[in-house]
Structures are given as C-alpha cells and as structure tokens.
Amino acid sequence: MIPSDITPSQSYNISSLTNMSVTDRVRMILEIFRLRANSPESRLQVELADLQHQLPIVREYVHRGKLSEKPGFMAGGEYQVDYYLDMIRRRMSTINRDLKEIGRRRGEARSRRRRRGVRLVSLAGYTNAGKSTLMNALIDDERPEKMQEEAPAVFTTLSTATRRMKGRENWLITDTVGFISDLPPFLIEGFMSTLEEVFDSDAVVLVVDASEERENIFYKLTESLKILRDGPVKGKVVIALNKIDRCPDGIAPTDLPIPDIGAENVRIEHTVPTSALTGEGIGDLLEALGRILPGRIEIVVEFDEGITISRIEEGLGRRYSVRFVSSNDGRVRFGISYEGGPGEYPLEEIKAIGGMVVVP
C-alpha cells in the first residue's frame, strides 16, 4: 500500500476488514521522527504528535463500539477503549505542560543572550537542503561532538543545536528541524516550540537546494516562506542557494523570482549562492549577515572623578568596551561601545555605578 493521509473512519474500516494495523503517511513520518529524536524535548514533541494522531482514530473506535459495530479497541472491550482515550488526554496535558516549561526556559535564555549583545542566526528550510552541513561550515568549533550529523536523509535534525559562529564573537547559529509539505496542523504545532528559535532570531538563513529543478526550488521556497510568515519571523532573511557544486557548471539559479506570499514581516535582504560541502560562498554569506545584523554603537556616559575604566568594565561586563573621552569640573566622560541596537545599553547597570548617559 502506498502511504497517504487517510481518515479515522477509513483506518477503522481497513483494519476491521483486514484485521491488520494501518500505517498512513503521517504515521510513517512520525516513525522517522521517533528514530531521529535524540533530545528530551524532541522525544516529547514526537510523543505529543503521535498521541494527537491517535486521538481521532481512538475516538472512531469508541464511536463504533458504542454503536455495537465492534466491541472496543482491537476487541479489547468498550471500557478499555474509554480508559485508553482518557489516558491519551491526560498524557497530552502533561506533555504540553512540560513543553511550555522548556519553551519558557529557552525564551529566558534568548532574552539573557540578547541583553549581553549576542546575536542569534537560525538556519531554516526544507528537509535535506543541507542545513546541518552548512552549520558545520559556519561554526568555529570542529570537535566531532560539536558537529551536526550530516546525512543524505530527511529529518536528520529534530532538536535545536546552537553553536558559536566562526570569527564572530557575539554571533550564535542554530540548526532546526527541516520543513516538509502537506503536514497536518497538529504535527506542525507539535514542533512549534523548536521553530520559535527561528521566529525570534535576529537573522534567518533560509537554505534552499539549488541543484534541484527550478519548479521544485520555487515550490519549496514558497512553502518555507509561508512558515516564516505565519511564525511570524522577526529577523531579516538571507536565502542561501546551497549545493551549487552540484549545479550544472556550478551556476546557481540566482534569477529565481521570489514568491509573493503576501507578508510584510518576511524581509528578504540577500540571496547568496553557497556550497556547504566545498566552502564556496561561505565568506559571502557571512558578509551578507554582517550587513543586516546590528553593528557597534557608542554612547557617552558621565561619572564623578575617581571612577576607573576597570571599575566600569567590571560593572558592565565583557560585552562593552570603554574609552576615556574628556574630564571637566570634577566630572569625567567615557565612551562605551557595544554591538547592538539603540536603547540596548545597560541603563540600570550604568546608574548602579554612578553614571549618567549624556549621548544616547
């Protein structure tokens, strides 16, 4: 049987006629997810999606059992089916609570990173577009345990992995689960907490397999952009036309039109041909990201005389660089520079060590 999406009623009828279990397309995807899940969060997400997939099927068995068409789930008795349905609901409630707590902690970690001036770049795109290989080409730690698994298979990555980017002290890069078309809403919702890293990033690298047929590229690009739109994504987007080493004559289709998805929040800034395998275009990709991520900003802060640069640096942290500007009438001014946007300087910390911002 070719796997496809079937209704709970169809699943019941086929199972009744054949006395065999039924596997549809969603069930096969869930089984792949289960095999690939390697973190507590991804295992919870897979279990939740599996239970959500089972729920309407079990409801159908309950309905048929009460109509006396079949005495319970897999002939197990009507009361056993009711008990199993209740057990599914309780377990789903527990998993949702656990995932919310994981999401809350991840959100707090993102906020702390942003306050320290750390910029987050996320890799997104269709499954098997080469995201994990591209991430390995962009990180500065080549120890085997820090590298992402690379395989010509779908859903190699199910949980997020964050590493420091090559040559960028304050940039982190995150690899996330790959997109796939025609997934039921419950399956997308099950992995939404993972995709929050993408939606809340300062920049998103949307990875596309440039070696495919143009129609496939355009279709997958359209579907990926819709997911970013619905997130909604906050950061600017750079499209990485990956696998150009597999393109005819090494030429990527850079003239590919950008799909119109009717979204103002998806801001595509650059399109960069790359090959994560050979390293071609990696420097151009870093340069494109550098043009859209916030640069260094300097503010001038005034203190009473007697303050020292080391005292200021101790109070503000490593993110901030301090230089002497001027001294007059018992007051001294320092320039404090940082990587970030306007208003991101540590106003409370500056006040705590006796400073006053004079040039925001």
CATH number at residue 185: 3.40.50.300
Residues 136 and 124 in one domain: yes
- Tell me which of 144-153, 211-220, 247-256 is least confident: 144-153
Rounded Cα–Cα distance for residues 106 and 128 (Å) = 26
pLDDT-based confidence at 38, cuts 50/70/90?
Answer: low
- Using CA atoms, how far residue 333 sits from 91, 321, 339, 340, in Å, is 59, 14, 20, 21
Residues 167 and 19 in one domain: no
Residues 146 and 48 in one domain: no
pLDDT at 1: 39
Domain extent, residue 319, equals 296-359
Asked if residue 353 belongs to a domain, the reply is yes
Asked if residue 110 belongs to a domain, the reply is no
Task: Give the chain's largest Cα–Cα span.
Answer: 94
Asked if residue 22 belongs to a domain, the reply is yes
pLDDT at 190: 60
Which of 292, 324, 340 marks a domain boundary? 292
Asked if residue 158 belongs to a domain, the reply is yes
Residues 144 and 282 in one domain: yes
What is the count of structural domains for the chain?
A: 3
DSSP 8-state assignment for residue 251: -
CB 121 within 8 A of CB 143: no
- Tell me which of 105-119, 319-333, 344-358 is least confident: 105-119
Is 187 a residue whose pLDDT tops 70? no
pLDDT in tens, 203-237: 999 999 988 888 888 888 888 888 888 878 888 89
Rounded Cα–Cα distance for residues 303 and 125 (Å) = 49
More confident position, 12 or 95? 95
Residues 127 and 92 in one domain: no
pLDDT in tens, 75-118: 444 556 677 788 888 999 999 899 888 888 887 877 777 666 67
The fraction of the chain above a pLDDT of 70, given in percent, is 76
More confident position, 191 or 235? 235
Average pLDDT, the chain: 78
pLDDT at 342: 64
Asked if residue 259 belongs to a domain, the reply is yes
What b/e readout covers 152-183, taking b as 16+ CB neighbours within 10 angstroms?
eeebbbbbbbbbbbeebebbbbbbbbbbbeeb
Residues 206 and 287 in one domain: yes
Residues 223 and 126 in one domain: yes
CA 124 remoteness from chain centre: 7
Question: What is the mean predicted confidence (pLDDT) over 46-53?
Answer: 83
pLDDT-based confidence at 345, cuts 50/70/90?
Answer: confident
Is 153 a residue whose pLDDT tops 70? no
Residues 163 and 247 in one domain: yes
Residues 137 and 276 in one domain: yes
Asked if residue 283 belongs to a domain, the reply is yes
Ranked by mean pLDDT, the top range of 28-32, 41-45, 205-209 is 205-209
pLDDT-based confidence at 343, cuts 50/70/90?
Answer: low
Instruction: Please choose, from the candidates 267, 95, 96, 106, the residue with its C-alpha nearest in 3D space to the C-alpha of residue 176.
Output: 106
Q: Is 347 exposed, middle or buried (0-12, 13-18, 19+ CB in 10 A)?
A: middle
Which of 292, 315, 332 marks a domain boundary? 292
Q: Is 264 exposed, middle or buried (0-12, 13-18, 19+ CB in 10 A)?
A: exposed
Rg (CA), the chain: 26
pLDDT at 68: 52
Residues 182 and 301 in one domain: no
Is 338 a residue whose pLDDT tops 70? yes
Question: What is the mean predicted confidence (pLDDT) over 267-274?
Answer: 89
Asked if residue 109 belongs to a domain, the reply is no
More confident position, 294 or 269? 269
Residues 38 and 123 in one domain: no
pLDDT at 272: 92
Residues 173 and 264 in one domain: yes
Which of 292, 317, 342 marks a domain boundary? 292
Asked if residue 239 belongs to a domain, the reply is yes
Six-digit token string for 238? 């750079």
